[in-house]
Amino acid sequence: MALSGILDEMESWIEDFPPLHQPMRFGNKAFRSWHQRLCERSEGLLTQALGHAAPEHAKKAEALAKELSYYLRGAFGDERRIDYGTGHEVAFLGVLFALGATGVLARADAADAVLIVFADYIRVMRKLQKVYVLEPAGSHGVWGLDDYHMLPFLFGAAQLIGKEEEVPTGEVYREKIVEKYADQYLYVDAIRQVLLAKKGAPFHETSPMLYDITSVPDWQRTLGGMVKMWRAEVLGKFPVIQHFLFGPTLQWPA
């Protein structure tokens, strides 16, 4: 998909803006230069990608690219605060949703949009978090799923529906499951990321909420809980969602 190519290019910009040597706990100021390039080039990259991906929509590509560029810029953190959280993550979902709403992304491609494009976005975002030490925006600490992300757990639970024998909900954090399936399933990959970030104590202590979720007997019900949590903790929290933009495609009221 053309969006994956854009994400690959954005990842390559990190080499152009290496982290600065500065005293800090969070927030390397080189991120501001990276984000500035994103703001400068996002509309052009999207115009080019939309033209290649759907030639029949070429006339609409320029206007749609302009609209989508606002979501893309908002999907990679705040350049002033040098932070990132679930409010930024939902902005990238806005990109995918708008592509679907305008017919550029076919319903038949929805799974690939998540399993390929969204997965690529998460990969790039994690690299940015590590290189520039982005501060978690609105993190709940041990009482959250992850310091930065929520949607990999939601989409990941959906991906695992019907695969309880392969990846039991109660075993998803076990080393043998993580080693075997983290490169295959979004949820297991998200668990691997948590395990890498929070070492030195048992899983039930570092991630009590994720541990409690392992008691849910199947992935269908796990998904239901994730959707409720996402609606309440992301869409339903004004400090999180206040910067989300509405326009010609994503309108308010919907």
Instruction: Give 35-52 pLDDT, tens digit per residue.
Output: 999 999 999 999 988 887
Cα→Cα distances 213→39, 50, 89, 159, Å:
38, 39, 22, 16
Would you give the end-to-end CA distance of the chain in angstroms?
Answer: 27
Which has more pLDDT, 58 or 253?
253
Q: What is the CATH number of the domain that holds 155?
A: 1.20.120.1150
With respect to residue 252, please indicate whether it lies within any of the assigned structural domains: no
pLDDT given at position 1: 61
Confidence of residue 61 (pLDDT cuts 50, 70, 90): confident
Q: Are strands 83-84 and 135-136 parallel, antiparallel or unpaired?
A: parallel
Instruction: Indicate the residue among 138, 173, 196 that finishes a domain.
Output: 138
Q: Name the phi and psi angles at 216, rounded to 5.
A: -70, 130
CA angle 124, 130, 135 (to 5 degrees): 105
pLDDT given at position 215: 98
Instruction: Indicate the residue among 113, 138, 163 that finishes a domain.
Output: 138
Q: What is 203-243 written as a DSSP string?
A: HHHH-HHHHHHTTSSSHHHHHHHHHHHHIIIIIT-HHHHTT
Q: Are residues 117 and 209 in the same domain?
A: no
Our count of domains for the chain comes to 2
With respect to residue 244, please indicate whether it lies within any of the assigned structural domains: no
What sign for the dihedral angle of Cα 124, 49, 18, 132? negative
Average pLDDT over the chain, rounded to whole? Answer: 93
Q: Are 149 and 89 in contact (CB under 8 A)?
A: yes
Q: Are residues 74 and 134 in the same domain?
A: yes
pLDDT given at position 45: 95
With respect to residue 247, please indicate whether it lies within any of the assigned structural domains: no
Q: Is the pLDDT of residue 57 over 60?
A: no
With respect to residue 246, please indicate whether it lies within any of the assigned structural domains: no
With respect to residue 110, please indicate whether it lies within any of the assigned structural domains: yes
Mean pLDDT of 143-159: 94
Q: Are residues 73 and 95 in the same domain?
A: yes
Question: pLDDT tens digits, residue range 218-254?
Answer: 999 999 999 999 999 999 999 888 889 999 999 987 6
Q: Are residues 226 and 131 in the same domain?
A: no
Provide the domain limits for residue 87: 2-138
At 119, list the tokens.
């997965």
Helix (H) or strand (E) holding 84: strand 83-84
pLDDT given at position 253: 77
3-class DSSP state of 54: coil
pLDDT given at position 58: 64
Cα separation, 165 vs 153, whole angstroms? 19
Confidence of residue 65 (pLDDT cuts 50, 70, 90): very high
Q: Are residues 111 and 82 in the same domain?
A: yes
Q: Are 250 and 97 in contact (CB under 8 A)?
A: yes
With respect to residue 249, please indicate whether it lies within any of the assigned structural domains: no
Q: Are residues 9 and 132 in the same domain?
A: yes
Question: pLDDT tens digits, residue range 112-146?
Answer: 999 999 999 999 999 999 999 999 997 766 778 99
Q: Are residues 128 and 161 in the same domain?
A: no
